[in-house]
Structures are given as C-alpha cells and as structure tokens.
Structure 1
C-alpha cells in the first residue's frame, strides 16, 4: 500500500485531475485526504493522498503537523506554478526538510517528484522548464511539467512516476538491509572465532 503525496502550491488541481479525470479551476486552501485505486501493470495499487496547501506559518505547531505528514508518506509530489517564481523558490527548501526528516528515520532514498504545473499558460511563464529540470536533477528528484487544466495523461504520468520511485526506494532499502545484515552476521562470526582461538 502506498501513502504518497505531499503537495505544495496549486496542487489540488493535480490531485483532483488524477482522481476524477476532470479539471476544476477554483480551490480554497483546504487540506484533504483521499484514497484512490488504480491498476498499474495489471496490479491494483491503492494511493492514499494527503493533499495540503503550503503554509508560510513556521510555528512549532505547524512544524509538528508537517513532520507527521512527512513520516506518514512513502513519497512526495511537490508542485509549483510555472507562472509564479515564489512557488518555485519554495521547492528547494521543502525537499531539504523532507529529506532531513526521512534520514532521521533511517531512510536514505526519498521518492520525490517535482512538478511544474500550468504549462498551458506558457505566455505567463516566469520559471523555465530547464530551471525545473536542473533543480530536480540537483536534488535527485523526478521532474515533470504538466497542465492539469489541459490533459489527464500528464498528471497520470506524475503519479505513475512517483509509484516507480517508491518501488525503487523500497527495493533499495530491502537490498541495503540484506547486505547490512550479512555484514553484521559475518562480523559477529569472525569476532567470535577470534575470541575462541585466544
């Protein structure tokens, strides 16, 4: 079971498009939790999505809530508007906060997808595709640029991309645990032999 998604600005449109295939243009700053079943490669996958708007309130209470969301999620979708440089500027900080919280929990690889939304409004663009791509590359994140208003397919690619990154992360964690476990076992055996022979 997956528990993906932390979303930043203008994200509700992306989530609703994924869930319903419809585009709704007006949203409030509402926090919502959704469950959605999809079939990917012939297998049913349950997405639990915690969709919430970005808040600039940095109070301890707000930070605690953000930590809960980060601990809850298996993966993250961070969304900015290509027409709003301020929303893009927030992304780097949010990725750092997520990675720090997950590393504290012992997770090295954190599945994060960065999405530039509103591609249909290219005439109002203030953030280039290249900037989004370079940011994602520098932070080891996946990158997509979509228009939730124009097409369902791009939004579907975002969530499937997140799913792929979550699978890779879980596989890497299992392999890492297996190797670490073998190394610890071997170390214990050799340490015991050394003490036995003394």
Structure 2
C-alpha cells in the first residue's frame, strides 16, 4: 500500500500542492480498479487480482498542481451480508466514489447501502460521486440512468455514467468532478472556521466589556 504524501509538499514552482484523498468503493467486478487505472495511465486493463492499493497521481488542473491519493478498496461482506467503508477509510478520505455496474442490479444495491452508510456516519458534508460503469454494455442494462440520478439526488452526491473500457474522457470527468466537490467542501469548511473565529473574538470583546 502506498502511503499518502504530506499535505505540506510543494510543487517544483514552490506552490503548495492540493492533496485529495479519494476512496473508491463498490461491489466486486464493477470496474473499480479499471476506473482507477484508466485515470492514472489512460489505459484500460480489464483483469485484476484481489489487491487493495493506494495510488498517488500528480496532475495540473486550472494551473494548480493536485496530488490525488486514490484508495482502490476491496469488496468484502460482513456477517450481515453488507459491506461498508472502515472507520480508518472514512477518516482518511476527503472524497468518495461509489461504483456500480449498470448491468448488475445487485451492485447498484451495494452502492446504495454504502452511500447510506456514508451519510449516516459523516452526514451530508462529505463530497461523494456515484458512478455507473460499463456504459458500453447498454444492451445489457439492468439499472436505468434515472435510478442512478435519483439515488444521487436523494443522497446529495454527484452522478455520472461512464465506460472505463471505452473511453478515458468520462473517467477523467468523474475524478475532476469529485475534485470540484472536495474543493467546495474545503472552502466551505475554511469559511465556517473563519466565521467561528470572528464570533469567538467578538464574544470575548463584549464579555470583557461587561466584566469592566
């Protein structure tokens, strides 16, 4: 497993890199690894073993250097027949990608359960994207695009259908869309922290005046 880089690492130009930790979740055989490797290398590789890996990938987006740390997770069911991200994974990740196959209804149900678990644990603030993979196999579709969009709307997630096998562009759009959600979340958290600091400062001033 590759450990994530320090958030203080700087680019060659001296600008601090934006670190984004992405957790990729979903049932088995839905294309999680294919999706991840397509983003990393632009190549499609269809067969993978049962290996859980964290990849590091540096890109430039809108003139800013971004370091993606991508945790390609394994699917394993617990005694209740469900599979959720671990506490360690939940704490580590800045953003989440839930992958299902549009040809497999059961994988869509797994994604639904995992999204619901995320919202129970981290609320609606955690940036997340639901991705319906294997769009190139539309003739075998078992989950409609509308169902995917409705799940995303209900769970406050982004949504895309892609084909990791067919094209790199859709996969690139997915990771960049999640990047946008993470940036928005970080900016909102920073703003909220600033407002809390102002409130504390004002409260301290008025508290001091009352004491005088």
Aligned mates of 1:101, 1:177 — CA distance in 2: 21
- 1:7-18 counterparts in 2 under 5 A? 7-9=25-27, 10=30, 11-18=32-39
Q: Partner residue of 1:89?
A: 109
In the alignment, does 2:22 pair up with 1:4?
A: yes
Q: Is the 8 A contact 2:22 2:71 kept in 1?
A: yes
Q: Partner residue of 1:148?
A: 164
User: Following superposition, which runs of at least 4 residues in structure 1 exceed 3 angstroms of deviation?
Assistant: 99-103
Aligned mates of 1:83, 1:190 — CA distance in 2: 62
> Which digits, 9 at most, give the CA deviation of each residue in 1:140-185, with x for residues without a partner?
1110100000000000000000110110000000011111221222
> Which digits, 9 at most, give the CA deviation of each residue in 1:35-62, with x for residues without a partner?
1111111222111111012221258xx9
Aligned mates of 2:42, 2:23 — CA distance in 1: 18
Q: Is the 8 A contact 1:29 1:52 kept in 2?
A: no
Relative to the length of structure 1, the TM-score reads 0.88
- 1:1-198 counterparts in 2 under 5 A? 1-9=19-27, 10=30, 11-58=32-79, 66-102=86-122, 109-196=125-212
Q: How many aligned positions are there?
A: 189
Aligned mates of 2:164, 2:188 — CA distance in 1: 32
> Which digits, 9 at most, give the CA deviation of each residue in 1:47-93, with x for residues without a partner?
1111012221258xx97x71111111111111000011111112232
Q: Gaps (5+ residues) in structure 2?
A: 1-18
Relative to the length of structure 2, the TM-score reads 0.82
Q: What is the RMSD of the two structures over their aligned residues, measured on CA atoms?
A: 1.9
